[in-house]
Amino acid sequence: MHKHIATAGMYVRINILRVIAVLLVTVTAEVLLFCRVASMPNTGLEDVIDRSGVMWVMAAAFVLLTVQLCAAGGDRGGRQNYTLQRLALQERTVTFWQMAVNALFYLLFWTLQGLALIILCAVVRDTGDVLSGQALFLACWRSPLLHGLIPMGEVLIWIRNVCFCAVLGIVTAKFSWCRRRGKFGVGVLFAAAACLLFFPREVGKAVEDTLAMLFLLTVASGAVTGIVTEEEEDDEKTQKAS
């Protein structure tokens, strides 16, 4: 069990500082953009969200986070690979732990982005002249970005967002696994593009959410199957050679 904890902890240490840096820069940029637009006269809360450009900042941060998680552990050499060799775990076990850690980083990103945007909206609601007391609640339903982050009572979107985090964790770890073998994992491109496309969500789009989840789960299952199949083939070759 110690080996598994050490493996997960290693991937947390590799990424945590860079992930925190991405989050801090993102939130700072969102605050500046949000406050600039909110200071304009006669601006409603939904207008502030749409005109501030926070969605593009969030998208850029998502891409940076994905690049960082793809790059972690992708080199055959390096200190982390030496550590993994000492732990003597199968490569697929190591990769599965990396998947779990990456998924948690995406979950952290989603949670903090939602909290940051809710706090910014609450501040604008309390200080703006034209915003009613229910503006924040209504914006959570009317704004596609805010509804995607905080889906209120739509359970399907909560499930969809968790699915997004899990699948992104899988495909980013698969990308690192491919790099160690001199390959390129294309699954992360499809998964990231789908998340960027479908994350902003209007009310009443259950079919689109379901299709997005099915597509991403197909990509993820292909990634996991590819890892298991190729490593089993490698194990067979090693046994025959010995």
Nearest CA to 172 among 66, 18, 20? 66
Kindly report which listed range (27-36, 84-93, 158-167) carries the lowest average pLDDT score: 84-93
First to last CA, the chain: 29
Amino acid identity, position 133: G
Structural domain range at position 203: 2-241
Cα separation, 70 vs 132, whole angstroms = 44
Whole-prediction pTM value?
A: 0.87
Cβ–Cβ under 8 Å, residues 170 and 99: yes
Q: How confident is the model at residue 12 (pLDDT cuts 50, 70, 90)?
A: confident
Sign of CA pseudo-dihedral 165, 167, 173, 178 = negative
In the chain, the number of structural domains is: 1
Give the integer Cα–Cα distance in Å for 234 and 126: 61
Phi, psi for residue 151 in degrees, rounded to 5: -75, 5
113-159 pLDDT, tens digit per residue, is 988 888 887 776 555 444 455 666 777 777 888 888 888 878 888 99
Average pLDDT over the chain, rounded to whole?
82
Confidence at residue 3, expressed as pLDDT on a 0 to 100 scale: 76
Higher-confidence residue of 166 and 140: namely 166
Residue 43's pLDDT is: 64
Backbone phi, psi, residue 72, to 5°? -70, 125
**Residue that is written with structure tokens 């969809």 in the block:** 160
Report whether 212 contacts 160 (CB < 8 A). Answer: yes
Tell me, what DSSP letter sits at residue 41?
T
